[in-house]
Structure 1
Amino acid sequence: MEETTKPGGRTFPRILLQHAQQRAGKPAFREKDLGIWQTWTWSQVADEVRALACGLAAMGFKRGMSLAIIGDNRPRLYWSMLAAQCLGGVAVPLYQDAPAADMMFVLDDAEIDFAVVEDQEQVDKLYEIKQSLNRISHIIFDDDRGMRHYVRPELSSFEKVQQLGRDFDRAHPEFFMQEVNAGSSTDTAVMLYTSGTTGKPKGVCQTHHAFMSAAIGGIEFDKLTDEEDILSYLPMAWCGDHLFSFAQALVAGFTVNCPESGNTVMTDMREIGPTYYFAPPRVFENMLTNVMIRMEDAGAIKRKIFHHYMEVARRVGSDILDGKPVGLMDRISYGIGNLLVYGPLKNVLGLSRVRIAYTAGAAIGPDLFRFYRCIGVNLKQLYGATETCAYVCLQPNGNIKFDSVGLPAPGVEVKIAPNGEVLVKSDAMLKEYYKRPDATAEVIDSDGYFHTGDAGIFDEDGHLKIIDRAADVGRMNSGDIFAPNYIENKLKFFPFIKEAVAFGNQRDMVCAFINIDLDAVGNWAERRGIAYSGYTDLAGKHETYDLIAECVEKVNADLANEPMMSGTQIHRFLVLHKELDADDEELTRTRKVRRRFVGEKYKVLIEALYSGRTSQYIETQVKFEDGRTGMVAADLRIVDVKTFSSLKKAA
């Protein structure tokens, strides 16, 4: 690793300037605009960042201030992070799909005066917030569509601020480098807010050194180079995106590609053909769902070929990927399968050039994980948290276990506390929670270990297995361990199930809420001539319940073969009348279920599941995208499903 990647005394702005000298003409960022890919080299990016930084300084942005960044993945928004850091400021990315009310808490808590936003939609949100929070004094927008008639003193276009910066730079030619040189690796570089599953989000302060340590560790572990291409499409406020698309991209010097919009991600991905890819399990689940829907619509011969070669892939695909010995006939069968099925499938998904793919943000079901690896996608799990720069455990090539998150990453100490909680110590750890010394003291003990809140165990080979969130792991009345997320991931492997919430702590049996996947189940219903008027109608159909019951019973059969989990088979379930939604506070912005909130909101349904009722009427308030509210009502069916004798009982 060359000197530029060493963390001591390094900051991200200094690395940017080194790239501008060492690989000046190489592509640093691409963005698809109006169907055409635009490219910026490292030297061009350095010029853009310098102009913006000087413009912010001319407007009054000073060392120690925070800059809010709101929007989809855009080169200018990544440059805004760097511009703030050049001046000794802190970048604070927010989830772009959050409503104004949710944003207000973060903007207030982080003491934001300056904000760089993508477009008119985000500008409108900030003006809605300003009615209650008047401290936002400067709003800078990237996309000028729809902004012609917005004439307000605090509003400036990105180009205007850069022009102001170029004038300022000419008048003060020493200023920019003085500010960059004043920066320290121990300065807070970014503040990322936690998802808030158990309360109000907290601002996690991460230094240049912390994220650089995580970036260097991952780059060396996977032998990443400046030739990689990555597609950046996940929220910039998510820690995973900041590690891959910002920290690693800057340290290694590879190219960040930004899609035209959220609706064109798959098309843009096929065009770019990333070599390095990351996504939370939900994205991989959606990909698999789309594949299965397309196969259902294919002709009988195509379906037969697909299922035959997928069986071959399940048998030997992972071993071939890991370089393990496989018989000649199996290799030939797999090669034919690659020609007819796996290759075209990877091409459709945009994964043809991927050398390394990671999933993180939540546990991934072993079956889903196995599917991608068996078709030749080097998908690996990454375990981490916002507080650890998404860097705790990594899976080495050729040493992958479907039910583990890998070995402790280079430079990371991991141990299990007596209560089963995973504890972590490394250089890639939070400096503090912003303005929350009490919360900081709660998660970092006197020995310097961060308490992750996850329950885990090490297997005989030193691989870490995450069972669930420590706070979510409970006990059945029978004494069996109840790990809801483990059960839910098995359910979500089926393309017809989008979300699941399992209940069973201090209960005699496990019951579950199910959200159907409207696209998958809708396609299934249409092919069978089943008419429906929308989600609620389809969710309540007898045919839908029969379909989901089949999936649940397959999960139960699987659980019965696992001695530790066999007592947590699902006995009863219902299909919710609405999709769990972040806007209704049922999910976080990273699509994690807010269990306590859901348990309280749907208490009447939980009581119905456990009281033996066969139906329950419920009315639920929902929030629409435009801020209006409405009510959804339904009489929900509750059904019993088959369970199986467990191995331990049979023994």
Structure 2
Amino acid sequence: MSFPALLERNVRKFGTRPAYREKEYGIWQSWTWSEAAEEIETFSLGLLALGVEEGEFVAIVGRNRPYFYWSMVAAQSVGAIPVPVYQDSAAEEMAYVMDHCGARFAVVEDQEQVDKIIEIQDSLTEFEHMIYIDPRGLRKYDHTKLHRFGEVQETGREKRSELISELEARKAKLTYDSTCVMLYTSGTTGKPKGVVLSNRNIIEASKSSSEFDNLRHTEEVLAYLPMAWVGDFIFSIGQAYWCGFCVNCPESPETMQTDLREIGPTYYFAPPRVFETQLTNVMIRMEDASRFKQALFHHFMEHARKVGPDILDKKPVSAWDKFWYRVGHLFVYGPLKDTLGFSRVRVGYTAGEAIGPEIFEFYRSLGINLKQLYGQTEASVFITLQPDGEVRSDTVGVAAPGVEIRIADSGEVFYRSPGTFEEYYKNPESTASTKDPEGWVATGDAGYFDEATGHLKIIDRAKDVGKMADGQLFAPKYVENKLKFFPNILEAVVFGNGREKCTAFINIDMSAVGNWAERNNIGYASYQELAGHPRVLETIREHVEEVNRSLADDPMLAHCQVHRFLVLHKELDADDGEMTRTRKVRRNIISEKFDDLLTALYDGSDEIFTTTEVTYEDGRKGSISATLKIMDAEVVPVETQKVAAE
């Protein structure tokens, strides 16, 4: 079985149903499964005409568009392997991926991506042909090895009679063990690794997860997450082809919220930051609303928090509470879900980071079936899932169908499943250290099974879990996630491994804090100026102290309270190497880059002057300087039992 074979099945079963939609120039365009199959076939024939060989890698670079999803299945159809690349990658990041896999062909979106590859092509020893979709700005470029997507398809149509037998022969060779896709890890600790996933991996994971949540061909999804991320590949290709549902592509990131409302997806995935941002925007709008609307909102939301999750889980609720919940749905919950674009969501998922319990319960109280999953690229996403009626904010659920999980003595989580990756490309050492001969994969995460529920709890990245100077457990991610639950805090990086106390770097959220500043007539000219404002620093101090009080109630992590912090003068940025493209913090790089700030947090300084190199959007380098105020936070005294450091 393969995706070209699933495409043929979907043409037979769902030929006239929509397979793809894309909004362009404000108008939704639609392709049925039959029309999509024709687009894919003509592009496949065009790839054959260009000389694509079996086993070669085809780089895919751009935002979510039907053309790129067609390109991936077309590459598979000719026996090649698609390699999606993050579209916002810097040129050197793109060069590493394309050189590592030896891509001879690339399908890109527009002039920006063409220019990036032209800039690096001299370092790519095997690269030859580039195919682009948007022709704007490219008319005067040398088209010897540069081809428009439509022209490749036209060549495929013209040469169909001579190439169709070769195409069918190559598709016939595809098996369950053929390579389906190669996806690169985010590279939090080093160079990204190419994760080789077979048809078996992706299709089995898609099949079991679709059956778990009863996904059907009538679902609608919005494809807006990076195509180089395994989640998008599973949702927009794996599950879409297995179930036969429609994939909708927004016009741009700027119109995503509008497009989300217009589509009204029934199956939706977003990382916690998206849900946090949407809730922040809701609260900002409510702060600007009339007193009557504010009172109405808060009254009914209080009732929703009390009974909404129970109603969603079909647990007993009094008739009176149900009545008032229906009234709340009429005046608050329904209009709010329409505004968010969630009016039709039947199954929603979040993953990647822990989501704040308050945020998680807010959406569930509205009647949105939001759940958590735990997964990784090497697992074809799914390691755990949350069954309906067993959804909790503090766990990530039970083992997904077909997945086995065990916890090592060290606390690290291991799994094996049909979705387990084949290998890291050109990296047998990393493959051997991650996956043992019996197929058990080390996740790199520390966790345990909750005795009461049997659900898995993830504490932190195993490499980040350490010991304080007195031997107590240090789990920075747990503390960071608690800090990020506040709308004013965008990112947090906590330090304390091997030290007597914990400290933190914090980034403010410009949309939330900026709105507060405008409502309070506080002028500011930049992120740096707003981040250093005394009232902003006091607000962040209040948040840190609230987290400290919460941590004090947890015997395992009470000693991880944050004693001192500073608000950084710049936002952590993937372009500056401080985060991955999936917005995961590169802790070691940050501690090295801001070593002077970290030293000041521990040496008792009240402030520090610093200069930091930054990368502008056009790739130019520059620097910014600032004097940062170091803040002390009140901690709750706790009796700790010292543990001998191992």
Q: TM tier, shorter chain? A: over 0.9
1:448 paired to 2:442: no
1:377-417 deviation per Cα after TM superposition (whole angstroms, max 9, x unaligned): 11111111100011100000110111110000000000101
1:170 paired to 2:164: no
Displacement after TM superposition at 1:367 (Å): 2.4
1:160 paired to 2:151: yes
1:374 paired to 2:365: yes
Alignment check: 8 A CA contact 1:561 1:647 kept:
no
**Secondary structure at 2:134's aligned position in 1?**
coil
Aligned mate of 1:503, from 479, 495, 499: 495
Q: Distance in 1 between matches of 2:188 and 2:246?
A: 33
Partner of 2:531: 539
Partner of 1:628: 620
Query: How do 1:15-164 and structure 2 match up within 5 A?
Result: 15-164=6-155
Alignment check: 8 A CA contact 1:317 1:334 kept:
yes
Aligned mate of 2:547, from 541, 555, 558: 555
Partner of 1:472: 464
Q: Distance in 2 between matches of 1:342 and 1:571?
A: 40
**Secondary structure at 1:72's aligned position in 2?**
coil
1:409-438 deviation per Cα after TM superposition (whole angstroms, max 9, x unaligned): 000000101101100111101110001111
Q: Distance in 1 between matches of 2:485 and 2:270?
A: 16
Partner of 2:420: 429
Query: How do 1:332-347 and structure 2 match up within 5 A?
Result: 332-347=323-338
Displacement after TM superposition at 1:645 (Å): 4.3
**Secondary structure at 1:391's aligned position in 2?**
strand
1:274-293 deviation per Cα after TM superposition (whole angstroms, max 9, x unaligned): 00000111111111111121
1:88-109 deviation per Cα after TM superposition (whole angstroms, max 9, x unaligned): 1101000001111110000000
Partner of 1:417: 408
Aligned mate of 1:251, from 229, 238, 242: 242
Alignment check: 8 A CA contact 2:104 2:127 kept:
yes
Partner of 2:584: 592
Alignment check: 8 A CA contact 1:169 1:176 kept:
no
Query: Which residue identity is paired with 1:13?
Result: P
Change over 3 Å in CA distance of 1:520–1:625 after alignment to 2: same
Partner of 1:6: none
**Secondary structure at 2:196's aligned position in 1?**
strand
Q: Distance in 2 between matches of 1:376 and 1:472?
A: 36
Alignment check: 8 A CA contact 2:45 2:163 kept:
no
Change over 3 Å in CA distance of 1:647–1:346 after alignment to 2: farther
Q: Distance in 2 between matches of 1:217 and 1:350?
A: 27
Displacement after TM superposition at 1:55 (Å): 0.6
Aligned mate of 1:637, from 629, 632, 644: 629
Q: Distance in 2 between matches of 1:99 and 1:462?
A: 43
Displacement after TM superposition at 1:346 (Å): 1.1
1:329-354 deviation per Cα after TM superposition (whole angstroms, max 9, x unaligned): 33233222222222111111101100
1:521 paired to 2:513: yes
Partner of 1:4: none
Structure 1: gaps spanning 5 or more residues: 1-9
Bigger CA drift: 637-646 or 373-382?
637-646
Displacement after TM superposition at 1:311 (Å): 1.9
Query: Which residue identity is paired with 1:622?
Result: V
Bigger CA drift: 225-234 or 176-185?
176-185
Query: How do 1:231-246 and structure 2 match up within 5 A?
Result: 231-246=222-237
Q: Distance in 1 between matches of 2:583 and 2:534?
A: 28
Displacement after TM superposition at 1:483 (Å): 1.2
Alignment check: 8 A CA contact 1:169 1:175 kept:
no
1:352 paired to 2:343: yes
Bigger CA drift: 136-145 or 358-367?
358-367
Bigger CA drift: 218-227 or 522-531?
522-531
Query: How do 1:178-197 and structure 2 match up within 5 A?
Result: 178-197=169-188
Partner of 1:490: 482
Query: Which residue identity is paired with 2:380?
Result: C
Displacement after TM superposition at 1:130 (Å): 1.2
Partner of 1:438: 429
Query: Which residue identity is paired with 1:514?
Result: I
Displacement after TM superposition at 1:175 (Å): 2.1
Q: Distance in 2 between matches of 1:339 and 1:495?
A: 27
Query: Which residue identity is paired with 2:456?
Result: L
**Secondary structure at 2:41's aligned position in 1?**
helix
Displacement after TM superposition at 1:185 (Å): 1.2
Q: Distance in 2 between matches of 1:610 and 1:342?
A: 47
Query: Which residue identity is paired with 1:172?
Result: L
**Secondary structure at 2:396's aligned position in 1?**
coil
1:426-460 deviation per Cα after TM superposition (whole angstroms, max 9, x unaligned): 11011100011111001011322000100010011
Partner of 1:386: 377
Structure 2: gaps spanning 5 or more residues: 642-646
Q: Distance in 2 between matches of 1:505 and 1:429?
A: 32
Partner of 2:570: 578
Q: Distance in 1 between matches of 2:61 and 2:151?
A: 18
Query: Which residue identity is paired with 1:542?
Result: P
Alignment check: 8 A CA contact 1:360 1:382 kept:
yes
Alignment check: 8 A CA contact 2:99 2:125 kept:
no
What TM-score, normalized to structure 1? 0.97
**Secondary structure at 2:293's aligned position in 1?**
helix
Query: Which residue identity is paired with 2:94?
Result: M
Q: Distance in 2 between matches of 1:172 and 1:512?
A: 61
Q: Distance in 1 between matches of 2:640 and 2:364?
A: 31
Partner of 1:269: 260
Aligned mate of 1:615, from 587, 607, 610: 607
Alignment check: 8 A CA contact 1:563 1:647 kept:
no
Alignment check: 8 A CA contact 2:559 2:640 kept:
no
Q: Distance in 1 between matches of 2:559 and 2:334?
A: 40
Q: Distance in 2 between matches of 1:562 and 1:316?
A: 27
Partner of 2:269: 278
Q: Distance in 2 between matches of 1:449 and 1:338?
A: 47
Displacement after TM superposition at 1:646 (Å): 4.7
1:498-545 deviation per Cα after TM superposition (whole angstroms, max 9, x unaligned): 111111112222111110011110110111111111100000110110
Alignment check: 8 A CA contact 1:561 1:646 kept:
no
Q: Distance in 1 between matches of 2:423 and 2:325?
A: 50
Displacement after TM superposition at 1:134 (Å): 4.8
Q: Distance in 1 between matches of 2:322 and 2:468?
A: 46
Query: Which residue identity is paired with 1:455?
Result: A
Bigger CA drift: 332-341 or 195-204?
332-341
Matched residue count: 640
Alignment check: 8 A CA contact 1:27 1:40 kept:
yes
Bigger CA drift: 333-342 or 175-184?
333-342
Partner of 2:200: 209
**Secondary structure at 2:37's aligned position in 1?**
helix
Displacement after TM superposition at 1:327 (Å): 2.6
Q: What is the aligned-residue RMSD (CA, Å)? A: 1.3
**Secondary structure at 1:442's aligned position in 2?**
helix
Displacement after TM superposition at 1:623 (Å): 0.1
